[in-house]
Structure 1
Amino acid sequence: MSVWLPGAPCTPAACVEPAGPCVAVPRAVLRLATVVVLVLAGIVWCPLGGRLPAQWVRRWCRAIVRAAGVRVRVTGAAVPTGGLLLVANHISWLDIPLLGAVRPARMLAKAEIRRWPVAGALVARGGVLFIERDRLRALPDTVARIAGALRAGAAVVAFPEGSTWCGRARGRFHRAVFQAALDAGVPVQPVRLRYLRAGRAASTAPAFVGEDTLLASLWRVARARDLVAEVEIRPLIPAGRHLDRRSLATAADPTPHAPARTHAP
């Protein structure tokens, strides 16, 4: 199995909680339509790449999350400027705009997206770094391209678990992407993402796992009431503190790994 494509045992049936308090259908439809409009606007803006002010990108990303009916709570210090590897656990499609609201960055994406009609070309011009996830021999070239972007002063977002998990269970950080930070001599910024119901109990409603479809996940989030996305910016790991990717990955991944649920809640 490729280091970019580890699997996760989480599935909608086993891990995603049943519907709790929901908003009315017309309100959910409005939320969903607004998210779609904002995402389409972002695809159109992608060719402008780094020419857009960072503050505009942050506001756009936060607007997507809020349009879905999710409140955002950010804790921790501000993320620094300059070349930076931004790593986080991976739960939902919401993770991407959440991290973009923290700091605009170049994303890693599977190479298949590049072949999508229209959208693929626009996203490529927006600075996405594509990964051949099923080709081990492509690993050195991919790491070199990520390192080059980091040396050039870009922030690069990676989800080292390699797959989405439900949020109650999670996977370990795989080491490959951390080699790029070592090669480029840049710091690593760990971020922990959590989704809560009414700001208290953990919620798996935003999870996008297993055979779940994007439309089903979008609708589940749009119907949910009182969802909160918690973004915890953890202490920065300076360049040079760790000399190998194994110890760097471990330092960036301090949270416990709960076993996946194997039955419906």
Structure 2
Amino acid sequence: MSVWLPTATCRPETCLADASPEVSHPRRALRLTACLAAVLAGVVLILPVRLFPYRVRIRLVRFWARVVLRALGVSVHLTGAYGTGDGTSDGAGGGVLVVANHVSWLDIPLLAAGRPGRSLAKTEVRQWPVLGPLIAWCGTVFLDRDRLRTLPDTVAAVAEVLRSGQPVIVFPEGSTWCGRESGRFRPALFQAAVEAGADVQPVRIRYRLSDGRPTSVPAFIGDDGLLTSLARVVAARGLVADVTFLPTVPAPGPQPARAGARRELARRAQAAIEGIR
């Protein structure tokens, strides 16, 4: 494993110990069945959906993501300027680097429910059952976190997508955290926004129960398995995701050689998400 690979200090045995209300086993089975049906429908329809105009595709992706989340029993509250990035929500916002804190695999459909875009994901995601091929077919840019020499190529690929006018979704912490703690935003991928002259939109993701208590139930951390995490999510009663699309951080303009620009973008984006002024 690469020495530069970001590693979270969160562990299932310490961060997932919160007691939370659960639904019955029949309800869990129903949620799993509904989720599988929605995901399979996405796999079947992804090729014909690509034939639709961009705005229609975005609306369909947003609808599909909300169906998947609803099937899992997750209530979603979207606030802020999502969609075009100017307060409307028709999804035609163009090349913006969308960056968020990272808690769970649920973060991906949550962002798609508000502002769909091309995602950056670790190469291991390709191997996930059912979801892996779907994520790849959606035009995901993959990052091999164990091979540092591939990073410049990944940055260039993200910059090219931004120049084409499409949003790109990135989780700059480089690893998932439980939600109580967070990691430092790594500046490397912000270089793509610098090179493309693209704005950065910070997004804050928080999970709670319906009574308002914060919860780490959705956290996907340490050696936690995808199926184990999925079982924990479908068992939860009253799981709510609050997703806040914050004001964009303006692009500094194309300056490929200026390392300070990407660090400043990373710092400002993280400060916005953490509510630091």
TM-based fold match above 0.5? yes
Give the Cα–Cα distance (whole angstroms) in 1 for the partners of residues 106 and 135 of structure 2. 18
1:261 maps to what in 2?
A: none
Q: CA deviation at 1:256?
A: 4.6
State whether structure 2 residue 212 is matched by structure 1 residue 200.
Answer: yes
2:224 maps to what in 1?
A: 212
Cα RMSD of the aligned pairs, angstroms, is 2.3
Give the Cα–Cα distance (whole angstroms) in 2 for the partners of residues 112 and 204 of structure 1. 23
- Mean CA deviation greater in 71-80 or 241-250: 241-250
2:78 maps to what in 1?
A: 74
Higher relative contact order (CA 8 A, sep 6+): 1
Deviation per CA, 1:49-81: give whole Å up to 9, x if none. 744521111010011111111111111123421
Give the Cα–Cα distance (whole angstroms) in 2 for the partners of residues 57 and 137 of structure 1. 33
1:85 maps to what in 2?
A: 97
2:68 maps to what in 1?
A: 64
Aligned counterpart in structure 1 of residue 106 of structure 2, from 94, 103, 109: 94
Give the Cα–Cα distance (whole angstroms) in 2 for the partners of residues 56 and 83 of structure 1. 19
CA 118–167 in structure 1, closer or farther in 2 if over 3 Å, else same: closer
2:36 maps to what in 1?
A: 36
Aligned counterpart in structure 2 of residue 148 of structure 1, from 160, 181, 190: 160
TM-score by length of structure 2 reads 0.85
Question: 5+ unaligned residues in a row in structure 1: which ranges?
Answer: 258-265
1:262 maps to what in 2?
A: none
Q: CA deviation at 1:118?
A: 8.8
2:270 maps to what in 1?
A: 253
Give the Cα–Cα distance (whole angstroms) in 1 for the partners of residues 227 and 215 of structure 2. 19
What number of residue pairs does the alignment pair up?
Answer: 256
State whether structure 2 residue 200 is matched by structure 1 residue 188.
Answer: yes
Deviation per CA, 1:97-119: give whole Å up to 9, x if none. 00001111111122344577997
Q: How does 1:90-239 map to 2 (within 5 A)?
A: 90-114=102-126, 123-239=135-251
2:89 maps to what in 1?
A: none
Kindly indicate whether the alpha-carbon contact (under 8 Å) linking 2:201 and 2:246 is maintained by their aligned counterparts in 1: yes
Kindly indicate whether the alpha-carbon contact (under 8 Å) linking 1:2 and 1:135 is maintained by their aligned counterparts in 2: no
Deviation per CA, 1:156-208: give whole Å up to 9, x if none. 10000011100111111101110001100111110000001115111001111
One-letter identity of the residue aligned with 2:138: G
Kindly indicate whether the alpha-carbon contact (under 8 Å) linking 2:118 and 2:168 is maintained by their aligned counterparts in 1: yes
Kindly indicate whether the alpha-carbon contact (under 8 Å) linking 1:12 and 1:210 is maintained by their aligned counterparts in 2: yes
TM-score by length of structure 1 reads 0.89
State whether structure 2 residue 261 is matched by structure 1 residue 244.
Answer: yes
SS at match of 1:87: strand
Give the Cα–Cα distance (whole angstroms) in 2 for the partners of residues 137 and 61 of structure 1. 34
SS at match of 2:189: helix
Give the Cα–Cα distance (whole angstroms) in 1 for the partners of residues 137 and 12 of structure 2. 34
Give the Cα–Cα distance (whole angstroms) in 2 for the partners of residues 127 and 67 of structure 1. 24
Q: CA deviation at 1:240?
A: 2.1
Kindly indicate whether the alpha-carbon contact (under 8 Å) linking 1:199 and 1:227 is maintained by their aligned counterparts in 2: no
- Mean CA deviation greater in 39-48 or 73-82: 39-48
Aligned-pair identity (%)? 51
SS at match of 1:44: helix
CA 48–66 in structure 1, closer or farther in 2 if over 3 Å, else same: same
Kindly indicate whether the alpha-carbon contact (under 8 Å) linking 2:252 and 2:261 is maintained by their aligned counterparts in 1: no
Kindly indicate whether the alpha-carbon contact (under 8 Å) linking 1:205 and 1:220 is maintained by their aligned counterparts in 2: yes
Give the Cα–Cα distance (whole angstroms) in 2 for the partners of residues 227 and 116 of structure 1. 24
Deviation per CA, 1:9-56: give whole Å up to 9, x if none. 111111013442111110011111211221222233344574452111
Give the Cα–Cα distance (whole angstroms) in 1 for the partners of residues 243 and 25 of structure 2. 28
CA 47–222 in structure 1, closer or farther in 2 if over 3 Å, else same: same
Give the Cα–Cα distance (whole angstroms) in 1 for the partners of residues 131 and 270 of structure 2. 33
Give the Cα–Cα distance (whole angstroms) in 2 for the partners of residues 31 and 116 of structure 1. 19
